């Protein structure tokens, strides 16, 4: 009887899979507006990596570059130099239409001013990005109702923004941002137009989506108590990342 050969090194199928690329990788990103003596350097060689599932607060004074960085992450602007990779894809190689598809399919946006359509119901506001995706009405209604339920607005589907409080309007905006099931949510001062109590309610919602669904969130804020909800805080100054460390405990 022939004895079996001793086991050799593991083959390709048995080896541990390669680590997934970071969700976001900025390398040497510079953004310059204008030219010559009038040139304004909004970003100066920013390096930043974000992993799937992180909750990152972005802070810094006005003019520090944080909003420009968010615009680049959201494919609303492009770097003058350097590279931006999203899920391993070099965004700089994409056409304008391809960047629009990336925004539509992979990114959600929440704004300080809510940006809801005034004469449109909460349900219709939440359905809007699904219309751009070409979903049929029945699926749009179902997903929009589910998103509104997830932000605590069951029963408010037919109300217009004028019939909602500021906190409720921001909940509708969050529902609109998550209804497409994005890979990353970009929130620009999401509590800036709210009182402190409503602001902390909104942050509890965002924290829950991050914790329970693994939603990656990047949030600009000027408020330390709001930044404390994040796992990580990145601080900008004069177009550069000045500090990058652990967040607080809200």
Q: What is the pTM of this model?
A: 0.89
pLDDT of residue 4: 43
pLDDT attached to residue 12? 45
The residue count for the chain: 250
DSSP 165-207: -HHHHHHHHHHHHHTT--SEEEEESTTTTS-HHHHHHHHHHHH
- DSSP annotation of 4: P
In the block, which residue shows the tokens 């909602």?
164
Both tokens of residue 58?
A: 């972005």
Angle between helix 137-150 and helix 166-178 axes, rounded to 10 deg: 130
Domains of the chain, each with CATH number or no CATH: 24-117+180-245 (3.40.50.300)
Predicted pLDDT at 20 = 73
Q: What is the DSSP letter of 72?
A: H
Q: How far apart are CA 159 and CA 81, in angstroms?
A: 46
Is residue 172 within 8 Å of residue 144, measured between CB atoms?
Answer: no
pLDDT recorded at residue 114: 92
d(CA 116, CA 36): 40
CA gap 1, 175 in Å, rounded = 68
pLDDT (0 to 100) of residue 1: 42
The pLDDT value recorded for residue 7 is 46
Q: pLDDT by residue for the chain (250 residues), tens digit each?
A: 444 444 444 444 445 455 678 999 999 999 999 998 899 999 999 999 999 999 999 999 999 999 999 999 999 999 999 999 999 999 999 999 999 999 999 999 999 999 999 999 999 999 999 999 999 999 999 999 999 999 999 999 999 999 999 999 999 999 999 999 999 999 999 999 999 999 999 999 999 999 999 999 999 999 999 999 999 999 999 999 999 998 765 5
Q: What pLDDT does residue 19 have?
A: 67
Tell me what pLDDT residue 56 has. Answer: 98
Which residue in this structure is represented by tokens 């894809």? 89
């Amino acid at each position: 009887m022939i004895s079996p050969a001793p086991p050799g090194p593991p083959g390709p199928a048995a080896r541990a899979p390669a680590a997934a690329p970071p969700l976001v990788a900025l390398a040497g990103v510079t953004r310059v507006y204008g030219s010559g003596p009038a040139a304004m350097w909004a970003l100066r060689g920013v390096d930043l990596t974000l992993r799937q599932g992180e909750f990152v607060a972005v802070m810094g004074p006005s003019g520090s570059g944080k909003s420009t960085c968010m615009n680049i992450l959201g494919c609303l602007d492009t770097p003058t130099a350097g590279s931006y990779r999203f899920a391993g894809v070099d965004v700089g190689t994409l056409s304008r239409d391809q960047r629009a598809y990336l925004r539509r399919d992979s990114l959600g946006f929440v704004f300080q001013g809510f940006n809801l359509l005034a004469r449109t119901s909460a349900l219709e506001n939440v359905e809007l990005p699904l219309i751009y995706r070409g979903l049929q009405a029945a699926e749009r209604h179902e997903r929009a109702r589910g998103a509104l339920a997830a932000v605590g607005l069951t029963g408010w589907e037919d109300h217009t923004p004028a019939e909602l409080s500021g906190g409720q309007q921001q909940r509708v905006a969050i529902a609109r941002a998550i209804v497409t099931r994005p890979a990353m949510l970009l929130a620009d001062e999401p509590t800036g137009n709210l009182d402190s109590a409503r602001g902390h309610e909104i942050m509890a919602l965002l924290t829950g989506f991050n914790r329970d669904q693994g939603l990656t969130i990047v949030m600009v804020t000027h408020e330390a108590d709001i930044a404390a909800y994040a796992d990580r805080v990145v601080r900008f100054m004069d177009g550069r990342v000045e500090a990058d460390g652990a967040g607080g405990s809200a």
